[in-house]
């Protein structure tokens, strides 16, 4: 995913894991994600989804049937599916109606007879109503099934899939898909994989799409509108099919013209393109993001009409087909493996197409943009937060001298309040153990500081680092990519500092080793899942270097590390 505001803001400056079951024969109601423990479900591995949807586009309603072929990974008396969508009408397991309970986003199913460990089984859920967009904890927008008047777009990262079909909603449980979608004429349906057939019946048309490579649920998409379809052959005959609104079709075709060349280049660097097709769909609406839905990336018309150039975003979403889609996350906290890699891949494309100076410019502008953005970013800190920070970090034996205390008071208080505090300071200062009480007694509730002011405050009070994070970066939009907060998962740090991690690694180990690392990592984890530890292990194996300190500094360090090979320093 690329969020448009992040991009332009910076340019201005420059297989299923085993979760603990609820009981001996109950599949867990979460798959075990460290950030979002209720996502996904335990006790089974989904193999294939067949989604039959009859869609009334004008009313935005669906008559749906989801058939899930799965494999039990433990004895199951009950198991869960994630579903926050329309009303469930019936559930069957292996063709027999069964009991179920649907509350919130959990659909709890009780088979007529318990399922044995290793037993294949089939679940069919029929439902009817209006699919619901889902507001994830990870970002402040609605995702999933989005009705925009003249059409429908599905963009589900990270949890939008459960708003329109029942699913084991976590990247650890990828599956193949058949999507049969019936719409009134003249609507067109674009979805994942390859279009197998269209069947006309009266005033309706059924589009049958088949995706033969496993997909993480957030990457499943259905798009419905009166599209213009553009097709071409990419490298080695790869089908490329694009779906555009009619009034901007020519403009969009020009914007996406480099796609085939990008596929050829990324295939030469990372490994062969992983899927059976590629292309894009441009929804006739405005969205603040584009999404790398598998084999068919989703954009919206504002990316075409409002952008001076969308080439960087075209490359970014395409690169996700390798990093994010084929090599998928095992844990959402490792999101930088998706976004940092795709961002850096877009820089690689410009290095390839425009020359090495383009890479140098991208790295330098990004690095300086993060430094300046952190410096200028204003942060509001409450008195209680500050007291807690000091209590956790200030050395008991240290004493803050009166001149330092005076500077602290002037940073935290208006001049009229700071004056009396400074006048009452004792000549001996305040011991570190007493600093929390001293701050607690200052006459303020909260204060808004710039990044440089907060850095100075931390320096004076002795807590440059808190919980492993510099306060500037704790509150900054450019947080260390390995510490992306669960309630702001897609913050700029995972994109831009994440991309800088890769360039700094390249500078340290050299080009030949670096590109061998990327290709080895991709080859080893293609069509599966990976963690940051997996990438670090490959990097150390291929380079023959101990890179622990390097990755600790770049992924979790409180201050943006230097890139000495380019003369870049956060302290410069």
The counts of H helices and E strands in the chain are: 18, 29
pLDDT level of residue 396 (50, 70, 90 thresholds):
low
Mind giving me the DSSP string for 13-61? Answer: H-----PPPSBTTB--SS---SS-TTSS-SSEEEEEEEEEEEEETTTTE
Q: Tell whether the model's pLDDT for residue 8 goes beyond 90.
A: no
Instruction: Report which of 569, 448, 544, 555 is spatially closest to residue 493, judged by C-alpha positions.
Output: 555
| Alpha carbon distance 87, 66 (integer Å) | 13
Give residue 477's pLDDT: 64
Q: Tell whether the model's pLDDT for residue 38 goes beyond 70.
A: yes
Instruction: Report which of 306, 290, 414, 393 is spatially closest to residue 6, judged by C-alpha positions.
Output: 290
Q: Is the peptide bond before 158 cis (omega within 30 degrees of 0)?
A: yes
Instruction: Report which of 280, 328, 320, 317 is spatially closest to residue 300, judged by C-alpha positions.
Output: 280
3-state secondary structure of 521: helix
Q: Which residue has the tokens 């701050």?
A: 439
Give residue 15's pLDDT: 34
DSSP-derived secondary structure letter, 496: I
Q: Where are the beta strands (DSSP E) in 130-284?
A: 144-147, 152-155, 175-184, 188-191, 194-201, 204-215, 222-225, 228-233, 239-244, 280-283
Q: Tell whether the model's pLDDT for residue 222 goes beyond 60.
A: yes
Q: Are 92 and 98 in contact (CB under 8 A)?
A: yes
Q: Where are the beta strands (DSSP E) in 256-383?
A: 280-283, 289-290, 297-300, 328-329, 378-382
Q: Are 253 and 195 in contact (CB under 8 A)?
A: no
Q: Tell whether the model's pLDDT for residue 9 goes beyond 70.
A: no
Token pair of 142, please? 């609605």
First and final CA of the chain: distance in angstroms?
Answer: 32
Give residue 463's pLDDT: 62
Average pLDDT, the chain: 90
pLDDT tens, position by position, 275-325 = 999 999 999 999 989 999 999 999 999 999 987 789 999 999 999 999 999
pLDDT tens, position by position, 405-463 = 999 999 999 999 999 999 999 899 998 888 889 999 999 999 888 766 777 787 788 76
Domains of the chain: 15-131+176-214 (2.60.40.1730), 332-373+478-566 (1.10.390.10), 378-475 (no CATH)
Which run of H or of E encompasses 318?
helix 311-319
pLDDT level of residue 363 (50, 70, 90 thresholds):
very high
Instruction: Report which of 181, 171, 159 is spatially closest to residue 83, judged by C-alpha positions.
Output: 159
Q: Find the range with the poorest average confidence among 228-232, 267-271, 568-572.
A: 568-572
Mind giving me the DSSP string for 176-213? Answer: EEEEEEEEETT-EEEESSEEEEEEEETTEEEEEEEEEE
Give residue 465's pLDDT: 36
3-state secondary structure of 145: strand
In the chain, pLDDT over 70 holds for what percent of residues?
Answer: 91
Q: Tell whether the model's pLDDT for residue 155 goes beyond 60.
A: yes
| Alpha carbon distance 16, 19 (integer Å) | 9
pLDDT level of residue 397 (50, 70, 90 thresholds):
low
Q: Are 238 and 275 in contact (CB under 8 A)?
A: no
CA distances from 179 to 183, 189, 196, 209, 267 (A): 13, 10, 10, 5, 28
Token pair of 127, please? 């439902």
């Amino acid at each position: 995913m690329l969020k448009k505001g992040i991009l332009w803001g910076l340019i201005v400056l420059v297989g299923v894991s085993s979760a603990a079951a609820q009981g001996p024969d109950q599949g867990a109601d979460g798959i075990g994600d460290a950030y979002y423990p209720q996502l996904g479900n335990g006790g089974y591995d989904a193999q294939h989804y067949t989604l039959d949807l009859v869609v009334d586009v004008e009313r935005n309603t669906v008559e749906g049937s989801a058939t899930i072929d799965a494999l039990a990974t433990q004895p199951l008396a009950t198991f869960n599916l994630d579903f926050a969508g329309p009303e469930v009408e019936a559930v069957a397991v292996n063709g027999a109606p069964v009991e179920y309970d649907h509350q919130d986003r959990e659909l709890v199913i009780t088979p007529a007879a318990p399922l044995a460990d290793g037993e294949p089984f089939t679940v069919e859920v029929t439902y009817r109503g209006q699919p619901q967009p889902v507001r994830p904890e990870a970002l402040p927008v609605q995702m999933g099934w989005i009705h925009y008047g003249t059409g429908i777009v599905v963009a589900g990262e990270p949890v939008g899939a459960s708003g329109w079909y029942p699913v084991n909603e976590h990247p650890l449980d990828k599956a193949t898909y058949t999507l049969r979608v019936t719409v009134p004429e003249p609507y067109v349906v674009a979805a994942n994989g390859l279009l197998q057939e269209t069947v006309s019946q009266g005033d309706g048309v059924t589009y049958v799409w088949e995706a033969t490579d496993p997909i993480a649920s957030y990457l499943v998409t259905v798009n419905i509108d009166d599209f213009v379809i553009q097709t071409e052959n990419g490298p080695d005959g790869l089908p490329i099919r694009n779906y555009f609104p009619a009034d901007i079709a020519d403009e969009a075709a020009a914007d996406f013209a480099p796609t085939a060349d990008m596929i050829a280049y990324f295939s030469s660097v990372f490994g062969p393109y992983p899927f059976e097709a590629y292309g894009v769909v441009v929804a006739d609406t405005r969205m603040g993001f584009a999404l790398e839905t598998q084999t068919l990336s989703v954009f919206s018309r504002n990316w075409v009409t409002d952008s001076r150039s969308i080439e960087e975003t075209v490359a970014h979403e395409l690169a996700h087909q390798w990093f994010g889609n084929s090599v998928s996350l095992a844990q959402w906290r490792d999101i930088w493996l998706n976004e940092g890699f795709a961002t850096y891949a877009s820089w690689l494309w410009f290095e390839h197409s425009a020359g090495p100076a383009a890479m140098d410019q991208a790295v330098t502008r990004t690095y300086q943009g993060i430094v300046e953005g952190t410096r200028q970013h204003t942060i509001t800190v409450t008195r209680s937060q500050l007291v807690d920070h000091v209590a956790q970090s200030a050395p008991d034996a240290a004493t803050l001298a009166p001149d330092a205390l005076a500077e602290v008071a002037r940073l935290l208080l208006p001049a009229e309040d700071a004056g009396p505090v400074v006048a009452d300071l004792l000549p001996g200062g305040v011991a570190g153990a007493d600093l929390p009480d001293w701050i607690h007694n200052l006459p303020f509730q909260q204060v808004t500081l710039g990044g440089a002011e907060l850095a100075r405050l931390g320096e004076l009070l002795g807590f440059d680092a808190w919980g492993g994070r510099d306060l500037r970066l704790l509150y900054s939009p450019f947080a260390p990519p390995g510490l992306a907060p669960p309630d702001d998962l897609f913050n700029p740090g995972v994109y831009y500092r994440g991309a800088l991690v890769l360039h700094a690694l390249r500078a340290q180990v050299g080009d030949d080793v670096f590109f061998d690392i990327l290709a080895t990592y991709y080859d080893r984890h293609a069509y599966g899942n990976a963690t940051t530890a997996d990438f670090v292990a490959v990097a150390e194996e291929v380079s023959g270097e101990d890179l622990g300190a390097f990755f600790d500094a770049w992924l979790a360090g409180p201050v943006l590390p230097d890139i000495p090979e380019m003369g870049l320093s956060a302290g410069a």
